[in-house]
Structure 1
Amino acid sequence: MELTLEELNKTIMEMRTKGRLTEALNLAEQGLLVALENDNYKHGLDLFYQKILIHHALGDTLSMVSHIYDYEACCQQYGTTKDFMNYYLVMSLIYDLVGVREKTVEMTKKSIEYATQLKDIKMLVRCHSNLCYLEVENGCYKEALEAALIARKYNHMLAKSLPELAKLQDIRINNNLADVYILEGDFAMGQALLDHTLNSDIIENHNREKVAALFGYGFLYEHQQQLEEAVAYYKQAIALAQSYGDNQIAKKVMRMLLNVLYQLDYRDEIFDVQRAYIELTEKMSADNLLQQVMNLEFNRQKEKLEKRALYDPLTGVLNRHFLDVELHDWLKDARTYQQFVGVIVLDIDYFKAYNDRYGHLFGDMVLQLLATGIRDFIRNQEAVIVRYGGDEFIVCLRHHTKQFIYDFIKALHGYLLTLKLEQQNDSYPLKISLGACVNDLHNYEYLQLFKQADRNLYKAKNNGRANFVISSL
């Protein structure tokens, strides 16, 4: 099934590259259902991402926004670095569509940070191309040119492995770069780039990119004061955008068209375009996209504040405040459902030596590696991770079978001993000592379970470290 979903993801990307968007959307929706039914969140998140990008290519902003809540929740619960990179790109597209420029730039740069870390060439091309467009909108033409040239450099690399996708990205880069040259007064270069787009053998399959090129020609002729030619191209861009329902782009080009019509004093046409513009604005206001996006941003900021109160900023796991505020209810639920509870206390052997020898930043990376390792291992269990302090972590696990908890703790310790911090061609394996206490369906007092687990931790250390001791209470 995983192989099938992997192939499906590849097929959908190829369809998107060829402009077969409706077919790609149907496949993405079917594949996403299969992935979620099989708890395959790795490929499910890829399919979710592709689905949202297809809606963007189709100009269906309303569907993009309606899906983003569920997509964000899946990323938060199951996402990897790659998924967060994709998520920030999607958010940059949404913020751009509703005109929140500052957030668009912020999201784009976050996606670039992740793409650089992952050396993801596809994303580096797309994000730097988008950044070129954003810098043009901000009036920063030098920065826009730099972003476009970086995108082009990565696109040459992309062409070696994905030539068709690189051809599409080349069109996008040229469209954005043409605006830079037009605004700088180099009309010949701007037209050459736009000519390259409209003469491409794939442009007829990509409406959004063709609209951008037609708009670019209108922009070019307007800046050369060839206003009637500008009107013709703006009208073509609007008609094509409306043909596939891209209201955001249609509205943007209408504003440009009205400006030219005013200069020409074409009063009858001004009236017709103004009426269409007002009708489109009213329709888009009814969709209330901006309010939905702002609600999303408000909820995200609210969650950040709540998370800051309960989560350790370095490792991203729960902090000691959770033990005081939330753990009582967690244990109460375990008692209600007659689940066994295991309290695990673990730390890194000789952690102080890491800090003393390699520095505190190295020590921080070790702690982050350990926290990530624990999080990955307990992902599908009813468990919580707490950073108790320094290098000491607590894991609370509940399950209906006592033997499962015993086996799980042993497996967790074995897995943690496989963790290594890779740094400048050197490898630093972690040595972890672990103590645990499992209850007997009667004792749900955290302090008693913790004290026994903590005593077991020190027994493990006395037994030679990199060891574990488990007992019942």
Structure 2
Amino acid sequence: MTTVDLKTLQQEVSLLRAEGKYKETIEACYNLLNWATELNDYKAMLTAHINSAASFYCIGAIEEAFQSIESYDEICIKYGDEADALHLYNVLFLLYDYNKDYEKAKETLSKSIELGMKLEKFNIVSNGYSNLSHVCLAEGNYLDALAMASKGLEMAKLHEPQSRILELRVTLNIAQAYIGLGNQGTSKQLIDEIVHDPILDSFIREKSQAFILQGNWLSKQKLYKEAFESYSYAKELVESYNDVYLLKVIQEERSNICEKMQDIQLGYKVQKEYISLLNEINERELALTALKLDVTHNLSLIEKKANTDYLTGLYNRNHLETVTNDWLRQAYENDESIVCIVFDIDNFKSINDKYGHLFGDEVIKEVARTCSSKIDDNEMIGRYGGDEFVIVLKNTTLDKGKNRAEKLEKMIRNLQIDRDGSMISITSSIGVTSNSNGSILTFNELFHEADVGLYRAKKKGKNQIYVTS
């Protein structure tokens, strides 16, 4: 894949997410991340992680979203810029708000506001204060909610070009804070200004929130008939963009108002609508659970395919390198020994030349099946390429590694592979080495030492083991 192909894949990820195709986005992000890692393109890695996190959030897979954000943060610290940090804070806030972890949500928003001020991105600063106000409202802290929303309005007015909807979003929080503080006059004045603002015709979500807020105000004044009408209009608006969870809130309010008006017939009708909505929510949540399971399953298949050798089903070179590097790092910290065994099939080219490449593939698969059947939990086997295999052993000694290699050599020597009724025997040459008490820290170094041992075993006549230390 080229850099141009990588840019195309990044655009595909962004488009899929914008279209709400979250399952496809997550899978595309996984592919993007693999290619970005291959090309050391850190911006593309950030794109993959942030879109993956946002998509996981949208399907309710919060734990997976946090994992993506942690990976994003690690790369962002080393290679990201301030704009990348802002993306991080935006998604982190959503996750903390979802979990009702309001303290961390406020910490994240404070960082976003500070950075937004530095970059003079007043729309981001305004949204940050608006979200802080939202958190304070959720906590019932109306004074702080009012203070944060007022600062958000100041920042919205500094944004260029001027954005009326940006100002209205913050004003909604100001009005709600005044209702909480019992200031009905000021809150009514603000609500009247908002609901009559023509710009809301282009922003249906904000328009529905304005009429919900109006219904809230009217209900507190015991103007139940007017409140019911306001909530009913909000319901029509929300139905147009099908936010079932906001509809649930509206239907609960409409039901409460029917009870206060003692209108049994209307209350019965609203309750029927409410029950129908609950069934829809239940079906949607079941579908969401199924989607999460499907995404997890598909990612497992993609990951397995990415880490698996197509011919043998063993781990491939990339996975061997990734896991061994982790093992070597842990071994260095814990003063443990890692042993590497590298082996190949003697005279494999002659086998291919004499019997054909298809039989050669069968020989490789049979060796893989035989050797992998004896792998323990603290061991990993993979195909490095061609007829060359690697076994890495955790927390073991070089002597034990040599004993393991001797058993391996015997297993391969005892193999009888059928070729049109004739049984073909094979032998192997094996190199063994260790991480030399922590002095070797990468798979490439470890493999090289064992591969040198394999070369020397070949030079000494094949069908034997050579240990390097």
**Alpha-carbon deviation of 1:273?**
1.4
Residue deviations 1:233-257 (CA, integer Å, cap 9, x gap): 1111122222322111111122222
Counterpart mapping for 1:124-273 below 5 A? 124-157=125-158, 159-160=159-160, 163=161, 166-273=163-270
**Alpha-carbon deviation of 1:204?**
2.7
Structure 2 contact 331–338 (Cα < 8 Å) conserved: no
Structure 1 contact 207–240 (Cα < 8 Å) conserved: yes
Candidates 90, 94, 99, aligned match of 1:90: 94
Please tell me whether residue 323 in structure 1 is matched to residue 323 in structure 2. Answer: no
Q: Whole-Å Cα distance in 2 between the matches of residues 170 and 324 of structure 1?
A: 60
Amino acid at match of 1:64: I
Residue deviations 1:419-471 (CA, integer Å, cap 9, x gap): xxxxxxxxxxxxxxxxxx9745468xxxxxxxxxxxxxxxxxxxxxxxxxxxx
Q: Whole-Å Cα distance in 1 between the matches of residues 196 and 440 of structure 2?
A: 61
Give SS of 1:65's match.
coil
Amino acid at match of 2:46: K
Structure 1 contact 49–86 (Cα < 8 Å) conserved: no
Counterpart mapping for 1:296-335 below 5 A? 323=334, 333=380
Q: Whole-Å Cα distance in 1 between the matches of residues 338 and 238 of structure 2?
A: 54
What corresponds to 2:402 in structure 1? Answer: none
Counterpart mapping for 1:357-372 below 5 A? none
What corresponds to 1:276 in structure 2? Answer: 273
Q: Whole-Å Cα distance in 2 between the matches of residues 442 and 90 of structure 1?
A: 53
Structure 1 contact 88–110 (Cα < 8 Å) conserved: no
Greater shift, 180-189 or 222-231, is seen at 180-189
CA, structure 1 residues 31+331, in 2 after alignment: closer, same or farther (shift >3 Å)? closer
Q: Whole-Å Cα distance in 2 between the matches of residues 326 and 124 of structure 1?
A: 52
Counterpart mapping for 1:22-171 below 5 A? 25=20, 33=28, 36-37=31-32, 38-39=35-36, 40-48=44-52, 63-66=58-61, 68=62, 70-79=64-73, 80=76, 82=85, 83-95=87-99, 101=100, 103=101, 105-116=102-113, 118-119=115-116, 121=121, 122-157=123-158, 159-160=159-160, 163=161, 166-171=163-168
Q: Whole-Å Cα distance in 2 between the matches of residues 202 and 395 of structure 1?
A: 65
Unaligned runs of 5+ in 1: 13-20, 54-62, 96-100, 297-317, 342-392, 406-436, 444-471
Please tell me whether residue 398 in structure 1 is matched to residue 443 in structure 2. Answer: yes
Structure 1 contact 52–64 (Cα < 8 Å) conserved: yes
Structure 1 contact 340–438 (Cα < 8 Å) conserved: no
Unaligned runs of 5+ in 2: 37-43, 78-84, 294-328, 340-375, 393-437, 454-467
Q: Whole-Å Cα distance in 1 between the matches of residues 284 and 335 of structure 2?
A: 44
Greater shift, 128-137 or 118-127, is seen at 118-127
Q: Whole-Å Cα distance in 2 between the matches of residues 181 and 193 of structure 1?
A: 10
Give SS of 2:442's match.
strand
Amino acid at match of 1:134: V
Residue deviations 1:69-109 (CA, integer Å, cap 9, x gap): 554333333442625423312214534xxxxx4x2x13422
Q: Whole-Å Cα distance in 2 between the matches of residues 327 and 125 of structure 1?
A: 54
Greater shift, 220-229 or 114-123, is seen at 114-123
Greater shift, 125-134 or 245-254, is seen at 125-134
Amino acid at match of 1:115: S
Residue deviations 1:147-191 (CA, integer Å, cap 9, x gap): 21232233334x13xx47x54332221112111112323333223
**TM-score normalized by the length of structure 2:** 0.52
**Alpha-carbon deviation of 1:228?**
1.1
Q: Whole-Å Cα distance in 2 between the matches of residues 184 and 151 of structure 1?
A: 19
Give SS of 2:182's match.
coil
CA, structure 1 residues 223+36, in 2 after alignment: closer, same or farther (shift >3 Å)? same
Residue deviations 1:248-301 (CA, integer Å, cap 9, x gap): 111112222222221111111111212222332344345558x97xx99xxxxx
Residue deviations 1:340-396 (CA, integer Å, cap 9, x gap): 99xxxxxxxxxxxxxxxxxxxxxxxxxxxxxxxxxxxxxxxxxxxxxxxxxxx9993
Q: Whole-Å Cα distance in 1 between the matches of residues 440 and 107 of structure 2?
A: 31
CA, structure 1 residues 394+331, in 2 after alignment: closer, same or farther (shift >3 Å)? farther
CA, structure 1 residues 133+112, in 2 after alignment: closer, same or farther (shift >3 Å)? closer
In terms of Rg, which structure is larger?
Answer: 2
CA, structure 1 residues 263+25, in 2 after alignment: closer, same or farther (shift >3 Å)? same
How many residues are paired up? 308
Amino acid at match of 1:90: L
Q: Whole-Å Cα distance in 1 between the matches of residues 196 and 336 of structure 2?
A: 64
Give SS of 1:131's match.
helix
What corresponds to 2:353 in structure 1? Answer: none
**Alpha-carbon deviation of 1:219?**
0.9
Structure 1 contact 5–35 (Cα < 8 Å) conserved: no
Give SS of 2:441's match.
strand
Structure 2 contact 179–217 (Cα < 8 Å) conserved: yes
RMSD of equivalent CA atoms: 4.7
What corresponds to 1:418 in structure 2? Answer: none
Q: Whole-Å Cα distance in 1 between the matches of residues 251 and 338 of structure 2?
A: 57
Q: Whole-Å Cα distance in 2 between the matches of residues 332 and 322 of structure 1?
A: 19
Residue deviations 1:394-414 (CA, integer Å, cap 9, x gap): 993223xx6xx9xxxxxxxxx
Q: Whole-Å Cα distance in 2 between the matches of residues 203 and 326 of structure 1?
A: 67
What corresponds to 1:311 in structure 2? Answer: none
CA, structure 1 residues 336+26, in 2 after alignment: closer, same or farther (shift >3 Å)? closer
Give SS of 1:396's match.
coil
Structure 1 contact 28–48 (Cα < 8 Å) conserved: no
CA, structure 1 residues 27+323, in 2 after alignment: closer, same or farther (shift >3 Å)? closer
**TM-score normalized by the length of structure 1:** 0.52
Amino acid at match of 1:33: A
Q: Whole-Å Cα distance in 2 between the matches of residues 207 and 181 of structure 1?
A: 23
Residue deviations 1:319-352 (CA, integer Å, cap 9, x gap): 78963689679995489746799xxxxxxxxxxx
What corresponds to 1:457 in structure 2? Answer: none
